[in-house]
A and B are shown apart, each in its own frame.
Chain A
Amino acid sequence: MKSIILRYPKTIITLALFLLFLIFTSFVFVKTNANLRNQAEKVIHIQALEMLNNEILAFVSSRVTYVNYDDIVNKQAGFRKELIRLREDSELRITDPAAAQIDTLLKKVDKAFQAQSVLIEDFKSYKSIVNNSVHYIFSIQPRIRNSLCVLDQDRENRESMTLIFRVLSAILVQNIEGIGDINKIEALINEILLDDLNPANRKMVQLFKRHARQIVSYQKKLDTINTLVNNKELTKSLNALKTVMVEYYRKKGKRLKEIGVSLFVITFVLFLVLIYFFIRADRNRKKIFELMNAVQNSDNSIVITDLEGTIQYVNKAFERNTQYAANEAIGQNSRILNAKSQPDEYYENMWETILNGDTWYDTFHNKRKDGTYFYEKASISPVFLPDGSFRSFIAIKLDITREKELQNKLEAANQALNEQIEELKLLQSAIEHTTDSIVITDKDGRIEYANPAYGKMTGCDCSEAPGTLFKLLKRGPHNMNFYDEMWKWLAKGDRYCGVHSCETADGTMYYDEETIIPIIDENGERTHFVAAGRNITERIKVEEERLNANKLESLGILAGGIAHDFNNILTAVLGNISIAKLAVSKGKQPLNYLEEAENACVRIKDLTLQLLTFSKGGSPVRKSVSMSKLVSESARFMLHGSSVDCHLDLQDNLWGAIVDEGQINQVMNNLVINAVQAMPDGGTLKIKAENRIMNENNPQNLKAGRYVKLSVEDQGVGIQPENLSKVFDPYFTTKQNGTGLGLASAYSIITKHQGCILLNSSPGKGTCFAIYLPASMESAAGTKENTAEEHHGTGNVLIMDDDPNIRNILGEMLEMLGYTVAFASDGQRAIDMYRDAMNLPSKFDVIIMDLTIPGGMGGQEAITTLRKIDPHIRAIVSSGYSNDDVMANYQDYGFTGVVAKPYDLRVLSKTLREILR
């Protein structure tokens, strides 16, 4: 509203004035009208009064006989009412001097009317009387005449008669025509003499005279009234009143009319001015509308703010760019757009510029309503008013987010490019300075680039190299097949690695380790080759020397080890022989010492056998073997009595392998022992056997084909990384009492079997050995165990042992041999079972008992009781403690036989067969 007034002050003021005057004019017009109507009413009232007055006057002056007085009564009442109305009306304006005059006149009229009313009432009464008397005298006239005419000759009568007629005619004239002298009539009446008349006539004439006198007397009064009424006191008052009132209202009306006319003129002029302003405003409005349209639909955001930055106007582009609707934005400070990423000084600078009256150009980083950011190129300038001051700013802004983003991307890309260039420079520098020769050729082998090292290596001038064919490789003593192979290789797109013996330009031979990489473009086409070469002549020489040294070193260790072992055993041999000789000399039995010596010799034989496996002569004696059986048996025997938990995972239908069973057993034993020793605190040992088909190019470098993979995994201490390369070396050991031959011989055995042994270890977590052995083509199932020395038999056997594993193994062994087995976990249970089954067909034929049962009845105690039950009982004692007295002298303790742990199937079968025979 305020802004509208400020914008169109002239129009608004004119409009206000126009309306004001219009209202005032209307008011005056209405007032004038009311006044005129009022005046007209007043005049009508007065005219009514005049009319009534005239009628009343007419009534008074009329000469008619009888009258219905209701008429005059109503007229008078009407007059009274009109008068009251006038008085009540004018009393309202008594303050006005003219009105006061009117009021006085009204009072005068009222007074005149009151006076007149009294006269009228008198007139009515008198008129009635006169009328009646006139009527009466005329009505009796014929009778009088008749009476008197009888005596027509009588002079008196005639005279009286004449007089009466004269009176009558005078009254008639007076009454009807209103002329004549009442006093004369009165005199005539008096002249009528009654004395001469006879009594009857006298009475009649007397009555006549009385009525005539009444007439005369009341007629006089009526005349007086007539005179008074015709004085027209009331009429004059009324006229005066009328004149004054008409004048009063006329003046008043005239004044109002003058005011009205002048107001009308002013209003009309204002109206014209208003129309002028309106036309001008309309023209401006159209112009403004066009401008507004342009601003509103401009592609630039246009914002108008006040000096504090409060938004007063925004266009559509603003709404689009900022997502603020116009009504949301207007009234807000423009700060709502500030992304706060630009420093405060930036904005302060802007304000300083624009408050100075200058235009500011720059870029804003702004925030949309939804919180996303955008860039705007803005120009902000003050909106100058005609007087040079300004109260608002206009900001014209263009969203340059995309440009900015592109710019940023470009910059980033540029930077990346620079970095790449730097990197390339670095690479180039590296390539330039590396000692390796690097050549880049096209797909036909034409050199595009050769680094200085190339020149140095080949003795060519590398600056001349580009354009020439890369012939380097053909200098060596290789045949054409070699190169064909290489090209085939490269044609596949693979990397080629190879060592070539080459010649320099001056004919010097050198070894070149060349790596050639084909460069493939996105279409899969070879475009370039990169050949990196290195003169490894020196390295080859060094390696050859070192290999020799290593062989010597190994040999030294081996020799040392063998020497050591041999020395030790030989010490035993020599010692025992010496003692035996001493014993012989002293007459003592030397057998023990000789046996010891013999044993030592056997050990030497074993050692020799082991050493033989390293030699070419120790080739394995191969046959088809069931690997599952081999592994399980080997593991079972090795682990018995240890604290290690074993998980045996053998694949079903495991292939067999053509191996030297003894050697593979040895390998497994060595691995398992190592594993168990690596887990002094116990743990889980996982032994796994599975079928594997190896393709060519396998990481193990095995021939393609079927393999059985055996893996032994422990959770032990693991192998230190520095030792990884040495563990397979003979006589390398980390153990106090190790021989250093276990893994070395395992490696040797497996290698000789065309397999491989792999090692994976992490210190503290464990070690895993994996063995790949070639699988036999035929199934191993058909391979028969050599059981020639195992004695099969029948009978019921009760096994008493606290260890369920031992019970099971023993049970399995016995069942394998054909026996029926039952189990007891301790002595007492065995006694009970034996006693219960004694008289049955399933009576136990033999009982095998563990010597000692921790916390339970052992074999020694049990046999005493069992002997009492069955004196013929056949009992075998079993124990790991082979040096126990009971084991040595079992028969003294009541046992029939003895079997030492670990069980040997052949020993066990033999013992059982002998006992049961």
Chain B
Amino acid sequence: MTIANPLQTEREMAMKNSIQSRLVILHMMVIVCITTGRHVAGQPLITPIPRRASFDRAKAHLGRKLFSDPLLSSDGTVSCESCHLLDQGGVDHLKFSLGVEGQLGKVNSPTVFNSSYNFFQFWDGRAIDLKEQARGPMTTHYEMNETLPNIVKKVKNSAEYPPLFLSIYPEGITEDSIVDAIAEFEKALDTPNSQFDKYLRGDNNALTEKEISGYVLFNSLGCIACHNGVLIGGNMYQKFGIMKEYRDPTNNPGRYRITGRKEDREVFKVPMLRNIELTAPYFHNGRVSTLKEAVDTMVEYQLGVNISKEEKSQLVAFLRTLTGEQPAFLTEDNQE
């Protein structure tokens, strides 16, 4: 198709009409797709969290023990749970977490809930899976500040661990078996059956009208372009400040630190929106502490659109429906 000379009026008009009609069709199509939450190929853009997570129960029990054991830190003061509080949505509600000797972290602690669904771990996606991720905090000097060989030694010297390990891992206590147990525990930390998941599964009464309006906005505004999949996020990287340059007070270079490509400056993993209501403060730098502020930031820097207060309120209302049931394993485990 060639673009006609703008000065040829008739043709312009004809084309204008033809374009107009085609645009209308296209737009209609897009709207339909977006409002139903389906992309063109037919797969839903957001899928509910499976009702039952698959994990090894025995390993998960052992992993939980390790997860909350400060033995894994150099001075025995910090455990994984110190920053990922299991009764607090998997976060500590601090901008930056506190490591050994009160050292402050450099990035906001993301939640451990549903973390197994992340395509890569950490804000910059430097860990391919949870096992790799688990090694990070243990060995970071301002977090748990311990070496893995030491941890193995300490776990081996403890009274309770060796028999537990031997009953599960034929090789006994090794670096790998320790992180494997922790990762297995984290797989158990799923939060299924949120109101929104129920809605996705066909329960139209699960959401209020306002919440549904928020969901429609979430789609039509294009939030869904990055926040999709089971976690509503967590499956791609994106630049922070697409439409407007974002001034990060922490000067976090994002993925650039990993890849060294200039394109990757201020590029972070798109965080999940599951349980977002519980995991304030928000963003990698924990700069905002309310959902409203977060929505404002996203609309301004990422979407580059103007929306009304009413619409923002609807979006926040939708986001609150993403809070799921607390992990079943934790309640079962507490009962045991």
Query: Interface of A with B (CB < 8 Å)?
Result: 62, 64-71, 73, 77, 118, 121-122, 124-125, 128-129, 131-132, 135-136, 138-139, 141, 159, 162-163, 165-166, 168-170, 172-173, 176-177, 179-180, 184, 207, 210-211, 214
- The docked-state distance in angstroms from the alpha carbon of A136 to that of B237 is 21
* Cβ-neighbour of B238 out of A125, A131, A159 (below 8 A): A125
- The docked-state distance in angstroms from the alpha carbon of A542 to that of B120 is 168
CB-CB under 8 A from A207, the residues of chain B are 304
* Cβ-neighbour of B43 out of A71, A125, A138, A210 (below 8 A): A71
Q: How many residues of B contact A (CB 8 A)?
A: 46
Q: Given A68-B46, A139-B220, is A128 in contact with B39 using a C-beta cutoff of 8 Å?
A: no
A810 to chain B: closest CB distance in Å?
130
* Cβ-neighbour of A166 out of B6, B40, B44 (below 8 A): B6
Decide if A125 touches B3 in the complex (CB within 8 Å).
no
- Report 25 cross-chain contacts, Cβ distance below 8 Å, ordered by A residue: A66-B45, A67-B41, A68-B229, A69-B228, A70-B230, A124-B237, A125-B238, A125-B239, A128-B222, A129-B239, A129-B242, A136-B222, A136-B305, A138-B23, A139-B220, A141-B23, A159-B6, A162-B12, A165-B19, A169-B3, A172-B22, A172-B26, A177-B1, A210-B243, A211-B304
Q: Given A165-B16, A176-B26, A210-B304, is A64 in contact with B39 using a C-beta cutoff of 8 Å?
A: yes
Decide if A66 touches B228 in the complex (CB within 8 Å).
yes
Query: Interface of B with A (CB < 8 Å)?
Result: 1, 3, 6, 12, 15-16, 19-20, 22-23, 26-27, 30, 33-34, 39-41, 43-47, 119, 220, 222, 224-226, 228-230, 235-239, 242-243, 259, 261, 263, 267, 303-305
* Cβ-neighbour of A70 out of B26, B235, B259 (below 8 A): B235
Q: 6 other contacts beyond A70-B235, A135-B222, A169-B3, with CB at 8 A cut-off?
A: A68-B45, A135-B30, A135-B220, A159-B6, A169-B23, A180-B1
- The docked-state distance in angstroms from the alpha carbon of A122 to that of B243 is 17
Q: Given A70-B47, A162-B12, is A128 in contact with B236 using a C-beta cutoff of 8 Å?
A: yes
Q: Given A64-B40, A129-B242, is A70 in contact with B224 using a C-beta cutoff of 8 Å?
A: no
Decide if B23 touches A68 in the complex (CB within 8 Å).
no
B96 to chain A: closest CB distance in Å?
26
Decide if B236 touches A125 in the complex (CB within 8 Å).
yes
CB-CB under 8 A from A165, the residues of chain B are 16, 19-20
Interface majority SS on A: helix, strand, loop or mixed? helix
Q: Given A135-B222, A138-B23, is A70 in contact with B228 using a C-beta cutoff of 8 Å?
A: yes
Q: Given A73-B235, A138-B27, is A68 in contact with B44 using a C-beta cutoff of 8 Å?
A: yes
- The docked-state distance in angstroms from the alpha carbon of A365 to that of B22 is 131
CB-CB under 8 A from B230, the residues of chain A are 70
Determine the residue in chain A with the shortest Cβ distance to B41: A64
Decide if A128 touches B304 in the complex (CB within 8 Å).
no
- The docked-state distance in angstroms from the alpha carbon of A694 to that of B1 is 183
- The docked-state distance in angstroms from the alpha carbon of A180 to that of B2 is 8
Decide if A125 touches B235 in the complex (CB within 8 Å).
no
Q: Given A122-B263, A124-B236, is A66 in contact with B229 using a C-beta cutoff of 8 Å?
A: no
CB-CB under 8 A from A135, the residues of chain B are 30, 34, 220, 222, 225
CB-CB under 8 A from A131, the residues of chain B are 222, 225
Q: Given A135-B30, A162-B12, A211-B304, is A169 in contact with B236 using a C-beta cutoff of 8 Å?
A: no
CB-CB under 8 A from A125, the residues of chain B are 236-239, 267
Decide if A173 touches B1 in the complex (CB within 8 Å).
yes
CB-CB under 8 A from A180, the residues of chain B are 1
* Cβ-neighbour of A172 out of B23, B235, B243 (below 8 A): B23
CB-CB under 8 A from B27, the residues of chain A are 138-139, 141
CB-CB under 8 A from B226, the residues of chain A are 128
CB-CB under 8 A from B16, the residues of chain A are 162, 165
CB-CB under 8 A from B6, the residues of chain A are 159, 162-163, 166
CB-CB under 8 A from A70, the residues of chain B are 47, 228-230, 235
CB-CB under 8 A from A179, the residues of chain B are 1
B182 to chain A: closest CB distance in Å?
20
Determine the residue in chain B with the shortest Cβ distance to A77: B119
- The docked-state distance in angstroms from the alpha carbon of A384 to that of B236 is 96
CB-CB under 8 A from A65, the residues of chain B are 30, 33, 39-40
- The docked-state distance in angstroms from the alpha carbon of A168 to that of B34 is 20
